[in-house]
């Protein structure tokens, strides 16, 4: 199962020069990402606004996550305040999977950030939320919130940023990227005992759960004869021939 620890900033004390703060806008981006994750069959757990960095790292390490994704915005040193711009996507150089995720996310951001030459995937050995978590980790500094142009870009592009990062995450997991749809109920209809809920839309993909005949599912999307469903706490793909939408 593609399982993400989604960690928007809890730093409400970092003000945007254009109004608001880092915690506020990173949580708006995370809110806008959630429907894309559900639509594409990605499970996630999200941090809480009252958590410290140490608590976030501990919570991530207590789970079996496939990706730790931290959402932040940046600020220049005081001597350069307001003069720097760009998006930085950090990864642990000891983690090939973390580097791949960072490079995919950076590539996606270059398509929407107004200065694509200033978007970089960068190694770090010092950022705790990258190097101290067990899962492959990426920390995104979307732009500089002390720069008027960068801060306004974040504030005015919440939906585009969320879509870009979500699409990059689906590429990382090798899943189809699907636009969110209103959820609906479905029911398993099999002549045998149960229906396999799979990690990907393929009969050779790993089985995440088994839903018995008549079981209720939530249908989030559809892809080439498969439904993206949730069954209990599991998000995955179910063969559409054995699910009846209600």
Cα gap 21→28, rounded to integer Å: 11
Task: Determine the distance from the C-alpha atom of residue 137 to the mean position of all C-alpha atoms in its chain, rounded to a whole number.
Answer: 11
pLDDT at 73: 98
Cα gap 236→3, rounded to integer Å: 11
pLDDT at 193: 86
Q: In what order do the strands lie in the sheet with 87-91?
A: 43-46, 3-8, 67-74, 137-144, 87-91, 119-123
- Residues with pLDDT less than 70, the chain: none
- Percentage of the chain exceeding pLDDT 70: 100
pLDDT at 132: 98
Identify the CATH homologous superfamily for domain 3-173.
Answer: Zn-dependent exopeptidases (3.40.630.40)
What architecture is domain 184-245? Roll (2.30)
pLDDT at 184: 96
Long-range CB contacts (within 8 A, 24+) of 147-150: 147/17, 147/76, 147/82, 147/83, 147/84, 147/85, 148/17, 148/18, 148/82, 149/85, 149/114, 150/73, 150/85, 150/86
pLDDT at 63: 96
Structure tokens at 101: 């995720």
Cα gap 161→113, rounded to integer Å: 9
Domain ranges for the chain? 3-173, 184-245
pLDDT at 233: 87
The torsion angles phi and psi of 117, rounded to 5 degrees, stand at: -70, -15
């Amino acid at each position: 199962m593609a399982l993400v620890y989604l960690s928007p900033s809890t730093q409400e004390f970092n003000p945007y020069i254009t109004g608001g703060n880092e915690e506020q806008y990173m949580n708006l981006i995370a809110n806008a990402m959630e429907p894309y994750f559900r639509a594409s069959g990605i499970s996630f757990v999200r941090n809480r606004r009252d958590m410290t960095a140490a608590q976030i790292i501990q919570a991530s390490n207590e789970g079996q996550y496939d990706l730790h994704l931290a959402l932040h915005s940046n600020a220049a040193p005081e001597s350069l305040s307001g003069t720097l711009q760009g998006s930085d996507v950090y990864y642990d150089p000891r983690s090939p999977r973390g580097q791949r995720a960072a490079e995919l996310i950076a590539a996606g951001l270059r398509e929407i950030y107004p200065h694509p030459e200033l978007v970089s995937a960068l190694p770090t050995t010092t950022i705790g939320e990258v190097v101290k978590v067990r899962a492959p980790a990426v920390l995104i500094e979307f732009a500089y919130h002390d720069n008027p142009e960068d801060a306004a870009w974040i504030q005015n592009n919440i939906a585009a940023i969320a879509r870009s990062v979500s699409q990059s995450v689906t590429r990382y997991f090798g899943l189809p990227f699907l636009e969110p749809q209103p959820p609906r109920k479905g029911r398993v209809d099999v002549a045998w005992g149960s229906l396999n809920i799979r990690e990907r839309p393929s009969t050779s993909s790993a089985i995440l759960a088994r839903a018995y005949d008549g079981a209720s599912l939530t249908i989030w999307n559809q892809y080439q004869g498969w439904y993206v469903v949730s069954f209990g706490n599991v998000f995955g793909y179910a063969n559409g021939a054995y699910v009846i939408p209600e």
